[in-house]
Amino acid sequence: MEHIVLTNGLKKSFKTQGKTVEAVRGVDLAVRRGEVFGFLGPNGAGKTTTLRMLTTLLTPDAGEATLAGCDLLKHPQRLRERIGYVSQAGGSDRGMSAWENLVLQGRLFGMNRHNAAAQAKALILAFDLEAIVDRKAATYSGGQRRRLDVALGMMHRPQLLFLDEPTTGLDPQNRARLWEEVRRLRDSGVTIFLTTHYLDEADALADRIAIMDQGKIEAEGSPRELKKQIAGDVVLLGLSADGAHNEKALELFSTQPYVREASYEQGHLRLYVHEGEATLPEILRLLDHAQIGLKTISLSQPTLDDVFLRQTGRSLQEA
Amino acid sequence: MSFFSNLQLYYVRKVKESLHNPGFLFMAVGTPLMYLLLFAPMLQHFTGMPGFTSGSVLNVFLPGVVVVIAVYGGLYVGFGLVDEIRQGIIERFRVTPTSRLALLLGSVLRDVSGVLVQTLLITLMAIPFGLKVYWGGFIIVMILLAIISALFAAFSYALALRLKSEDAIAPIIQGISLPIMLLAGFLLPMEMAPHWLQVAAHFNPVYYAVEASRALIGGQVNTPVVFQAFAVLLPVMALVFWWAIRSYKTAVA
């Protein structure tokens, strides 16, 4: 399998108020050509810093990377011609129309007037911007402006498109619509590298994901593979008992052969078990026998949040 | 793509931005007009006082005003850049294969153009009020004003890139603009000032520009004040540009 992004030990730290913060602490990534690669992690995990290094906006303190056949450190200028980047802020100029924005972007990549206009026309159709093409971007809705942002990133036909938190701030309808655009771009052969802190987004959109936390990659694989590592189902028990009982319950279940892993957090006992449906009666019997009060019980398939929780000891929602 | 085609694209973008802004057009014509109509008439009584000995009072007043226009025409442009940084526009430009120097200079040249157009307008408007212009000298004044506005614009942009907040750059810009203006003798010639103020003015690069402009518009081209002005302003401009280009290369915009 051909890799379009390969990084080795990327590091970056910042000095703020005399203290050194290690934002990215040795990141190794391998992104395959033609896939949607999801970069998942809580805010402040180092996703954007990593993205900025890969898009030549920040120089890494250490490590190396090859993107689209270009060495990041040796040929940043050539690399810029092959990648597209849509930042969290967007990047479209609100004082200009979609048309003016797109044509200028093409010209900055060295296209002549004619080619820039032709490509702008194609993108205006593809991203459904015809109705607003001559209006100033300042008058666009959030979804319209986001589509223009992504179109700007595609103006020079990059092989690899970076999207930093592309759906943050969008309503559910526009979010779904942008997911469709991303899938369409992937189907046309563009590799998409996107960061997100939404679990469902990574799960629904990405062919493979990397989970980042506190400057490091904690797991990498397809959503299905990662969830399979959890192996089995998740049983969540809401206990009515006090601290002593919780300890007792944790101890009790940790020793059961069908429980792969047990953990306790905020009044809930979380069990990773084989064949949840079959073990539920056994769990209930055991609790009854030990006289531990039960308020709620639920059984679910593992989610990416379970993967995150297992790797980092925290839930992504609370991270 | 060549540096100059990059520069042209960035310059045209900024010029269009100015032309589409009605406020900018109003200020460009309105500011000089207000100085001429609302302040210049007060100076009539100064005829014959120190610094006003030769010719029309406007020949003392106007060169000062055009230098002020150049300083302010550059100093406040950073606010616009903060907004562009916030919208992600600068970041988008920084991942294109274009020159960072072209990105900076495109904006600076727009600011310089604005100042030169304003200068030409106010000079033409002042002629009916009694200004005597020596056009050979005036062209050199324009060069001095281009240097001053470029210098302050580059400084303002670099400040914006480093601090990225209107609240952070406003006090710095206001804090330096006031002493620079007061110690340049732009409204009243420094000849009227006490000795210690005259000494302090010699540490202000803008003071030399005001003195040189007064000499030049009156036709004294081959004089020490003119050479002094270039000798002081060119190195300062080089220093500021060096800092600004560094900011464009390294700043996390």
In a domain, A315, yes or no: no
Distance from CA of A79 to the nearest CA of B (A): 9
Strands A208-213, A191-196: pairing is unpaired
- Is the per-residue pLDDT at A312 higher than 70? yes
Contacting residues of A for B89, CB less than 8 Å apart: 91-93
- Residue B253 has what pLDDT? 44
Asked if the Cβ–Cβ distance from A83 to B96 is below 8 Å, we say no
pLDDT on residue B252: 55
Q: To the nearest whole angstrom, how far is the Cα of A52 from the nearest Cα of chain B? A: 9
Taking the C-alpha atoms of residue A262 and residue B101, their distance in angstroms, rounded to an integer, is 58
Chain A residues whose CB is inside 8 A of the B16 CB are 96
Residue among A77, A91, A94 whose CB faces B92 most closely? A91
Any chain B CB within 8 A of the CB of A9? no
**Do A8 and A152 belong to one domain?**
yes
Please report residues of A whose CB lies closer than 8 A to that of B91: 57, 85, 87, 89, 91
Residue A162, H or E segment = strand A160-164
Are A148 and A222 part of one and the same domain?
A: yes
Question: Which residues of chain B neighbour A89 with C-beta distances below 8 Å?
Answer: 86-88, 91
* A30 in a structural domain: yes
**Number of separate domains in chain A:** 2
A173 and A220 fall within a common domain: yes
Residues, chain B? 253
- For A277, residues 6+ apart whose C-beta sits below 8 A from its C-beta are A233, A299
Task: Say what the pLDDT of residue B53 is.
Answer: 62
How large is the angle between the packed helices B78-86 and B166-182, nearest 10 degrees? 170
95-114 in chain A: CB under 8 A from chain B: 95-96, 104-105, 107-110
Q: Is A231 on the interface with B (CB under 8 A)?
A: no
Radius of gyration from C-alpha coordinates of chain B: 19
Select from A21, A80, A87 the residue whose CB has the most chain B CBs within 10 Å, as the one to mutate to test that interface: A87
Q: A261 and A289, same structural domain?
A: yes
Side-chain-side CA neighbours of A239 within 13 Å: the count stands at 26
- A292, A162: one domain: no
Contact B91 A91 (CB under 8 A): yes
Task: Report how far residue B206's alpha carbon sits from residue B68's, in angstroms, rounded to the nearest whole number.
Answer: 9
Q: Which pLDDT score is estimated for A198?
A: 87
Q: Are residues A185 and A248 in the same domain?
A: no
My answer on whether A112 and A241 are in the same domain is: no
Whether A222 is covered by a domain: the verdict is yes
User: What's A285's domain CATH number?
Assistant: 3.30.70.260
With a CB-CB cutoff of 8 Å, which residues 19-48 of chain B face chain A?
20
pLDDT score of A314 more than 80 = no
Q: A136: distance to nearest CA of chain B, Å?
A: 11
Q: Check B87 against A88: CB less than 8 A apart.
A: no
Domain boundary among A201, A227, A253: A227
| Chain A closest-CA separation from residue B96 CA (Å) | 6
Residues facing A64 on adjacent strands = A8
Mutation pick from A81, A93, A134 vs chain B, by most beta carbons of B within 10 Å, is A93
* Cβ-nearest to A108 among B84, B87, B98: B98
- Structural domain includes residue A314: no
Cβ neighbours of A149 in B, within 8 Å: 88
Put simply, the answer to whether B96 touches A105 (Cβ < 8 Å) is yes
Q: What is the mean pLDDT of residues A59-83?
A: 95
- What percent of chain A clears pLDDT 90, i.e. is strictly above it? 61
pLDDT (tens, 9 = 90+) of chain B, 253 residues, equals 789 999 999 999 999 999 888 887 788 778 878 888 888 787 777 777 777 766 678 888 899 999 999 999 999 999 999 999 999 999 999 999 999 899 999 999 999 999 999 999 999 988 988 889 999 999 999 999 999 999 999 999 999 999 999 999 999 999 999 999 889 888 778 888 889 988 889 999 999 999 999 999 988 989 999 999 999 999 999 999 999 999 888 765 4
The verdict on residue A219 lying in a domain is: yes
The CA–CA distances, whole Å, from B128 to B58, B141, B215 equal 11, 20, 20
Same domain, A221 and A241: no
C-alpha distances out from residue B114 to A230, B71, B125, B217, B234, Å = 65, 12, 17, 20, 21
pLDDT 10s digits, A242-278? 666 777 888 888 888 888 888 887 778 888 887 778 8
Mark which of A183, A198, A227 sits at the end of a domain: A227
Residue A310 lies in a domain: no
Residues A208 and A242 in one domain: no
Strand A3-16 to strand A19-27: parallel, antiparallel, or no bridges (unpaired)? antiparallel
**What are A193-245's pLDDT values in tens digits?**
999 988 889 999 999 999 999 999 998 999 988 887 776 788 888 887 566 67
Q: Are residues A74 and A55 in the same domain?
A: yes
Residue A293 inside a domain? The answer is yes
pLDDT the model gives residue A1: 64
Which residue reads 């069908």 in tokens? A258
- Angstroms from B95 CA to nearest CA on chain A: 6
Neighbouring C-alpha atoms within 13 Å toward the C-beta of A257:
0
Distance separating alpha carbons of residues A141 and A199, to the nearest angstrom: 25
Calculate Rg over the CA atoms of chain A: 24
The residue segments making up the domain with residue A260 are 233-301
User: Is B96 within 8 Å of A56 when comparing Cβ atoms?
Assistant: no
Same domain, A179 and A271: no
Measure the CA–CA gap between B71 and B107, rounded to whole angstroms. 15
Hey, is the C-beta of B17 within 8 angstroms of any chain A C-beta? Answer: yes
Structural domain contains residue A309:
no
The CATH number of residue A148's host domain is 3.40.50.300
What is the structure's pLDDT at A300? 85
Tens of pLDDT, residue by residue over B192-212, are 888 998 888 999 999 999 999
Q: Which of B1, B89, B92 sits opposite A110 (nearest CB)?
A: B1
Q: Which of residues 54-73 of A touch B (CB under 8 A)?
A: 55-58
Q: Minimal CA–CA distance to A211: which of A306, A302, A301, A300? A: A306
Domain end, chosen from A227, A248, A283, is at A227
Residue B166 near chain A (CB below 8 Å): no
Q: Could you tell me if A173 and A272 lie in one domain?
A: no
